[in-house]
Amino acid sequence: MNTTFPKGIKAALIDMDGVLYDSMPYHTRAWHQMMSEQGVNTTPEEFFLYEGMTGKATIDLIFQRELGRTASPEEARDLYARKAELFVASGKKEPMKGADRMLRALRRAGIPRVLVTGSAQNSLLDSLESDYPGAFLPGMRVTALDVEKGKPDPEPYLKGADIAGVEPGNAIVIENAPLGVRAGKSAGAFTVAVTTGPIPRMEFEKEGADMIFPSMDDFADWLEKNLPPHPAVLLDEAVERLNPATVTVVTDENVDREVLPLFSLSSTLAKANKVVIPPGEDHKNLESVTLIWKALEEAGATRKSLVVNIGGGLVTDIGGFAGATFKRGIRCINVPTTLLGAVDAATGGKTGINFNGLKNEIGAFHNPSDVIITARPLASLSHREILSGYAEMIKTGLIADAGLYKSLLDVDKLLSDTDALEEAIKRCVEIKEDVVAQDPTEKGLRKILNFGHTAGHAFESLAIERHVPLAHGEAVAHGMLVELILSHLLKGFPSEETHRYANEVLKPFYPRTGVTCDDIPLLLEFMAHDKKNAVAGKPNFTLLEAPGEPVIDCLPEIKDIEAALDIYRDIMGE
């Protein structure tokens, strides 16, 4: 049996009797009594096997077997009406235990739900909204009255997929009857059987059920464990907890176009005012912050308001800085849409803008009230953008977890394994959160997170000066090689590890910087102005004695930095 939620599922097609309501025992008794009144021989138990068929099909099946004929349309209508009367007279049917959790898990994941039932029983259909409020939107129903052929024909589930606007192969069917499983499989859907009745498991296996659960509670448990919440739902839940006076969303043009449609389900975004800034480091400036300040003012924002930053590190840095400074600080939520943002910029509380050609020269510490990390937006990223974030993951392994670093060296393997990548991301976030919790304002331990950044920011500033595209993570990837060389020169970091990083990671996967001898003085000048320097003009580095063994507050002589840059150029063949 599968252990994870199938990929590509865009809709859930859900049976009613035996799935949403514990109603099948009442149905079977009503069928048996109605048939007994006609002098037709049946057992209550056999009607469990006919679940999902239309009333007319069930009557014809029994009549053909016992009487050697089918029922006329009028006869079938009257007999089914009598069966329905007996069913209603048996009292209120209780919702199936665990069904509410199942529906909530699907709703949290943003998966549309369609009711697909072989019944036309108004007593249950009319109870759905009161028993499961909001579970099924208007028009999202297929009943016996909507099809010509009931289950086990695939028509009901094909129609359900059509109503949901998805291909059957992108739907999950949830059934409790073998004939319903047959219909779902025939339609081409991923079909789950829940054995809420007396029918043995082997009957569902014969029909080819993709998964079989012994109860709705067990299925709900599995969904809650394996079905990731939709980012729009996570955002709405986070905003609801904060109960803000106003909500202002900050994003950039690329994210607004390519990623925000993923949040179309969000009631927060539907009501919030939105600020869209131009993308790129050239716009990480005071002008963009002023744009956000003005939007907050126009929205009547107070200190109880909220800024929601949806984007990469540029957006969370700018939006966070605007939130930190407007009315001396209002709350923020960060929703990183890049791998780099997820493992670095969105957590830790650092905010800032570039100034006078220098990276993050002006900023503030302002911890977000929440950070929503989800893998869904990453699907829109280019391979280059993924690698930019991957550099920060490698940095995290180098400074804190030698085992993580070793696993990350096999870049192609990890990037091709979504589950392994997600686990590595989680480990990186755990490390950063632990470091930040111990040193929120970078007085000591937190400085280890700066590994690769002193030289990396210099490469980044040089690229901005030249108007050459170089992403932050790419700059840090090169900065790490410079600082590994310094670590070897000054702290005894193994030379073979330095070359391994250069040859297995940096050269094969990251663009060259094209640095020449003539660029070294400018790089040194950029490092001398780095915001992390405790002494003006004296570059401050975090270096390594070995993977996982960082040393903070290292102050190399200028000649050592020049030597490291020269060795860097030799290794890279610049």
| Backbone torsions φ then ψ of 257, nearest 5 degrees | -80, -40
pLDDT of residue 160: 97
End of a domain among 207, 227, 247?
227
Report the CATH number that the domain containing residue 480 is assigned in CATH: 1.20.1090.10
Share of the chain above pLDDT 90, in %: 65
DSSP letters for 94-120 = PBPTTHHHHHHHHHHTT--EEEE-S--
* Mean pLDDT computed over 428-438: 89
pLDDT of residue 121: 67
Q: Return the half-sphere exposure (C-beta side, CA atoms, 13 A cut-off) of residue 26.
A: 19
Q: Are 222 and 241 in contact (CB under 8 A)?
A: no
Report the CATH number that the domain containing residue 6 is assigned in CATH: 3.40.50.1000
pLDDT over 90 at 556, yes or no: yes
Residue 388 lies in a domain: no
Strand 141-142 vs strand 358-365: parallel, antiparallel, or unpaired? unpaired
Share of the chain above pLDDT 70, in %: 98
Considering the domain architecture, whether residues 129 and 235 belong to the same structural domain is answered as no
pLDDT over 90 at 572, yes or no: yes
Q: Which residues pair with 543 in a beta bridge?
A: 551
End of a domain among 193, 227, 261?
227
* Mean pLDDT computed over 236-249: 95
Considering the domain architecture, whether residues 169 and 240 belong to the same structural domain is answered as no
Question: What is the DSSP code (8-state) at residue 144?
Answer: G
CA dist 294 and 325 (Å) reads 12
| For the chain, counts of helices (H) and of strands (E) | 26, 15
Q: Which residues of 87-120 are buried (b: 16+ CB within 10 A; e: fewer)?
A: bbeeeebebbebbbbbbbbbbbbbbbbbbbbbbe
Considering the domain architecture, whether residues 352 and 501 belong to the same structural domain is answered as no
Strand 273-277 vs strand 141-142: parallel, antiparallel, or unpaired? unpaired
* Mean pLDDT computed over 95-102: 95
| Best CA proximity match to 79, nearest among 62, 95, 93 | 62
Considering the domain architecture, whether residues 235 and 220 belong to the same structural domain is answered as no
The count of domains in the chain is 3
Residue 389 lies in a domain: no
Mean pLDDT, rounded, of the chain: 91
* Mean pLDDT computed over 319-339: 94
Q: Are 292 and 318 in contact (CB under 8 A)?
A: yes
Report the CATH number that the domain containing residue 346 is assigned in CATH: 3.40.50.1970
Strand 211-213 vs strand 190-194: parallel, antiparallel, or unpaired? parallel
pLDDT over 90 at 357, yes or no: no
Residue 21 lies in a domain: yes
Residue 391 lies in a domain: no
Considering the domain architecture, whether residues 70 and 215 belong to the same structural domain is answered as yes
Considering the domain architecture, whether residues 317 and 412 belong to the same structural domain is answered as no
Considering the domain architecture, whether residues 257 and 223 belong to the same structural domain is answered as no
pLDDT of residue 3: 64
Q: 114 is written with which tokens?
A: 């369609």
Considering the domain architecture, whether residues 193 and 305 belong to the same structural domain is answered as no
pLDDT over 80 at 443, yes or no: yes
Q: What is the layout of strands, in order, in the sheet containing 211-213?
A: 141-142, 113-116, 11-14, 171-175, 190-194, 211-213
Q: Are 13 and 114 in contact (CB under 8 A)?
A: yes
| Best CA proximity match to 183, nearest among 162, 215, 164, 159 | 159
pLDDT of residue 571: 95
Side chain identity, residue 497: E
Residue 46 lies in a domain: yes
At 124, the pLDDT band (50, 70, 90 cuts) reads confident
Considering the domain architecture, whether residues 37 and 176 belong to the same structural domain is answered as yes
Highest mean pLDDT among 376-390, 411-425, 554-568 belongs to 554-568
pLDDT of residue 127: 85
Considering the domain architecture, whether residues 95 and 178 belong to the same structural domain is answered as yes
At 1, the pLDDT band (50, 70, 90 cuts) reads low
pLDDT of residue 282: 87
Lowest mean pLDDT among 3-7, 93-97, 533-537, 567-571: 533-537
Q: 328 is written with which tokens?
A: 């001396």
261 three-state secondary structure: helix
Residue 47 lies in a domain: yes
Instruction: Return the higher-pLDDT residue of 547 and 3.
Output: 547
* Mean pLDDT computed over 155-174: 96
Cis bond leading into 152, ω under 30°? Answer: yes
- Give per-residue pLDDT as tens, 255-282: 999 899 988 889 999 999 999 999 988 8
14 three-state secondary structure: strand
What would you report as the CA-atom Rg of the chain, rounded to the nearest whole angstrom? 31
| Best CA proximity match to 570, nearest among 516, 493, 522 | 516
* Mean pLDDT computed over 238-260: 94
Strand 141-142 vs strand 113-116: parallel, antiparallel, or unpaired? parallel
* Mean pLDDT computed over 323-332: 95
CA dist 175 and 117 (Å) reads 10
CA dist 326 and 293 (Å) reads 7
CA dihedral 530, 535, 539, 540 (to 10 degrees): -100
Considering the domain architecture, whether residues 69 and 57 belong to the same structural domain is answered as yes
Considering the domain architecture, whether residues 18 and 113 belong to the same structural domain is answered as yes
Residue 403 lies in a domain: yes
Q: 127 is written with which tokens?
A: 């109870």
CA distances from 344 to 8, 436, 506, 511 (A): 29, 11, 19, 21
Handedness of CA 197, 203, 205, 206 (dihedral sign): negative
Instruction: Return the higher-pLDDT residue of 156 and 350.
Output: 156
End of a domain among 183, 198, 227?
227
Residue 390 lies in a domain: no
- Give per-residue pLDDT as tens, 464-511: 888 888 888 999 999 999 999 999 999 999 999 999 999 999 999 999
The domain of 462 spans 396-572
Q: Which helix (H) or strand (E) holds 401?
A: none
